[in-house]
């Protein structure tokens, strides 16, 4: 029933349909956790660091015994990590050697519209024919300039091509972009090899080991209600962390900082540690999507929706050496019920702590009444269309005009699971379902996890730049099925 249950997966907490792998899957906790390499600038000057990334096909040994083609930044999945300094400009020359147009978006970045990765601002492949190039901003390569006048945060970059973000990210176009600043550096948080980004996503693999993504065309022509279910969200049965299936990381019995990113197309997770630490809570959250929290928050488990980031500290110090600690997904079942494992292999000196105060969080004062209402819902006629205020995305229609520097109060409502993401404007959650914000709503955010029938009020600020930006559902299949709208900052 297309208008009934939106969940055909292995859990009741993600909207989508589960795709099962035909490839032979490995035993979990056998691959070591990869950490993406940090990219070196090709040059730097007084104000700017310059980078070059080639988007190209590559080969990855993800499942033992198979080679998987990825579309990656520098041919890698995840892409290389960029580490920047708040206030120093970064210019990334993205060269497109893929067979398709691409668009690159720095998620969480406060970026001029021209460089923000608007969905139709495509960069055509190198040497590609110019047919279909209407609206393309470049042939072959484009220099994305990021001022990064924003606080320390765990940002990420990924493909954003209109109608094709789901398949292009699924094939590997995603990477971390970390921003550091003096406030963060003065904190005694775990550092270096004890500060680890974890990109969590699910995939399904075909019999030959390739990524299996359902074709959008078959949802149009295929049996209604079966293939089109994938447009509710694509869920895979293999959980990857930094591109490896259910990996294992050897840790010392000390604190680690993990920058959790849910880079899945549609899957939500509830992350917990098994066994839980003998003393203390599992996760001490120190940062949200776009910056540090004012004060740390203890969590026994963390709900994380697509595109959200949770910057957390885990203290392995209370586990006896030899303990295997599994990062589990309480919303999954079977193969999706676990994510990765930490093996506590030795004692070590720990000079890190989590101080009771982290950063001075500015509290924006919200307007006393609601400025705008945004309803995320489905309209199913021939096939699934996901809409905002009843309308499908139209690049030529401005849906919200805001003035530069404005602080607005939005009421967002939903009828299914929709991680709602706003470009440029960072926000704080004011209320959830008429009550206080939820346990996972703290801090400055760019994405809010919305469950069916949820009502969330946010205070959002549009600072920085004029121009056209989007906001959309970050379930990538919903996004590709037009659950997106335009903001014009004037």
Applying CB under 6 A, the residues found at the interface with ligand C2O are 105, 107, 158, 160, 307, 421, 423, 470, 472, 474
Binds 475: which of ligand C2O, Cu ion, none (CB < 5-8 Å by kind): Cu ion
Indicate the burial class of 266 (C-beta count within 10 angstroms; 0-12, 13-18, 19 or more).
buried
With CA atoms as reference, report the closest residue to 153 among 406, 351, 446.
446
Q: How far apart are CA 325 and CA 327, in angstroms?
A: 7
The half-sphere exposure of 276 on its side-chain side, counting CA atoms within 13 A, is 10
Nearest residue (CB) to ligand C2O, 28 versus 291: 291
Using DSSP, state whether 161 is helix, strand or coil: coil
Of 68-76, 143-151, 332-340, 466-474, which segment contacts Cu ion by CB under 5 A? 466-474
What residue is closest to ligand C2O based on CB? 107
Q: Least CB distance from residue 386 to Cu ion, whole Å? A: 6
User: Which residue of 28, 478, 485, 487 would you call a contact of Cu ion, by CB under 5 A?
Assistant: 478
Please provide the size of the chain in residues: 490
Indicate the burial class of 329 (C-beta count within 10 angstroms; 0-12, 13-18, 19 or more).
buried
Q: Least CB distance from residue 68 to ligand C2O, whole Å? A: 23
Q: List, in sequence order, every beta strand (DSSP E) within 98-152.
A: 104-107, 123-124, 138-139, 141-146
266 binds Cu ion, rule: CB under 5 A: no
Q: How far apart are CA 243 and CA 203, in angstroms?
A: 10
Binding positions for Cu ion, 117-156, rule CB under 5 A? none
Q: Least CB distance from residue 132 to ligand C2O, whole Å? A: 22
User: Which residue of 475, 482, 485, 489 would you call a contact of Cu ion, by CB under 5 A?
Assistant: 475
Binds 171: which of ligand C2O, Cu ion, none (CB < 5-8 Å by kind): none
Binding positions for Cu ion, 402-441, rule CB under 5 A? 418
Nearest residue (CB) to ligand C2O, 128 versus 464: 464
User: Which residue of 63, 313, 473, 487 would you call a contact of Cu ion, by CB under 5 A?
Assistant: 473
- CB distance 381 to 344 below 8 Å: no
Count of beta carbons in the 10 Å neighbourhood of residue 444:
23
Write the CB contacts of 383 (distance below 8 Å, at least 6 apart in sequence): 219, 220, 224, 228, 231, 481
**Whole-Å CA distances, 104 to 254, 389, 464:** 37, 27, 19
Nearest residue (CB) to ligand C2O, 423 versus 478: 423
Nearest residue (CB) to ligand C2O, 119 versus 287: 119
Q: Least CB distance from residue 419 to Cu ion, whole Å? A: 7
Nearest residue (CB) to ligand C2O, 28 versus 80: 80
Strand partners, 391: 388
Q: Least CB distance from residue 369 to ligand C2O, whole Å? A: 28
Task: Tell me whether the omega of the peptide bond preceding residue 461 falls within 30 degrees of 0, making it cis.
Answer: no
456 binds Cu ion, rule: CB under 5 A: no
Binds 94: which of ligand C2O, Cu ion, none (CB < 5-8 Å by kind): none
Binds 461: which of Cu ion, ligand C2O, none (CB < 5-8 Å by kind): none
Binds 473: which of Cu ion, ligand C2O, none (CB < 5-8 Å by kind): Cu ion
Region at 87 (left for phi over 0; alpha for psi -120 to 50; beta for the rest): left
Binds 421: which of ligand C2O, Cu ion, none (CB < 5-8 Å by kind): ligand C2O
Q: Least CB distance from residue 447 to ligand C2O, whole Å? A: 8
Site residues, Cu ion (CB under 5 A): 418, 473, 475, 478
């Amino acid at each position: 029933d297309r208008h009934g249950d939106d969940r055909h997966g292995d859990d009741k907490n993600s909207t989508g349909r589960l795709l099962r792998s035909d490839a032979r899957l490995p035993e979990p906790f056998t691959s070591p956790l990869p950490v993406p390499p940090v990219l070196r600038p090709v040059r730097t000057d007084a104000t700017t660091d310059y980078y070059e990334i080639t988007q190209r096909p590559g080969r990855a040994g993800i499942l033992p015994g198979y080679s998987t083609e990825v579309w990656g930044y520098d041919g890698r999945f995840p892409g290389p990590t960029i580490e920047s300094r708040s206030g120093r400009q970064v210019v990334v020359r993205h060269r497109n050697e893929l067979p398709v147009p691409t668009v690159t978006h720095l998620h969480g970045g406060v970026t001029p519209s021209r460089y923000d990765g608007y969905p139709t601002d495509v960069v055509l492949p190198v040497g590609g024919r110019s047919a279909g190039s209407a609206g393309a901003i470049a042939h072959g390569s484009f220099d994305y300039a990021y001022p990064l006048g924003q606080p320390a945060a765990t940002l990420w970059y990924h493909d954003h091509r209109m109608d094709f973000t789901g398949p292009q990210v699924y094939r590997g176009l995603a990477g971390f972009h970390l921003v550091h600043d003096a406030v963060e550096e003065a904190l005694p948080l775990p550092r270096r090899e004890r500060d680890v980004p974890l990109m969590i996503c699910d995939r399904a693999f075909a019999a030959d080991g390739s990524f299996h993504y359902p074709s959008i065309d078959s949802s149009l022509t295929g049996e209604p209600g079966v293939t089109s279910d994938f447009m509710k969200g694509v869920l895979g049965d293999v959980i990857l962390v930094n591109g490896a299936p259910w990996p294992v990381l050897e840790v010392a019995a000390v604190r680690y900082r993990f920058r959790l990113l849910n880079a899945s197309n549609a899957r939500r997770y509830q992350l917990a540690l098994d066994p839980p630490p003998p003393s203390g809570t599992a996760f001490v959250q120190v940062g949200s999507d776009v910056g540090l929290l004012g004060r740390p928050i203890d969590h026994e488990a963390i709900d994380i929706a697509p595109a959200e980031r949770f910057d957390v500290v885990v203290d392995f110090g209370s586990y006896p050496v030899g303990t295997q600690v599994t990062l589990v997904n309480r919303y999954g079942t079977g193969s999706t019920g676990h994510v990765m494992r930490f093996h506590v292999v030795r004692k070590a000196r720990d000079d890190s702590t989590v101080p009771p105060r982290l950063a001075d969080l500015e509290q924006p004062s919200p307007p006393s009444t609601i400025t705008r209402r945004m309803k995320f819902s489905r309209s199913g006629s021939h096939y699934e269309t996901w809409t905002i205020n009843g309308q499908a995305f139209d690049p030529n229609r401005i849906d919200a005009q805001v003035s530069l520097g404005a602080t607005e109060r939005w009421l967002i409502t939903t009828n299914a699971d929709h991680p709602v993401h706003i470009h440029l404007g960072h926000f704080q959650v004011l209320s959830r379902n008429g009550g206080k914000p939820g346990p996972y709503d703290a801090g400055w955010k760019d994405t809010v996890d919305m469950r069916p029938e949820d009502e969330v009020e946010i205070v959002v600020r549009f600072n920085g730049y004029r121009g056209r930006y989007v906001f959309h559902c970050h379930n990538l299949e919903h996004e590709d099925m037009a659950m997106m709208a335009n903001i014009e900052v004037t």
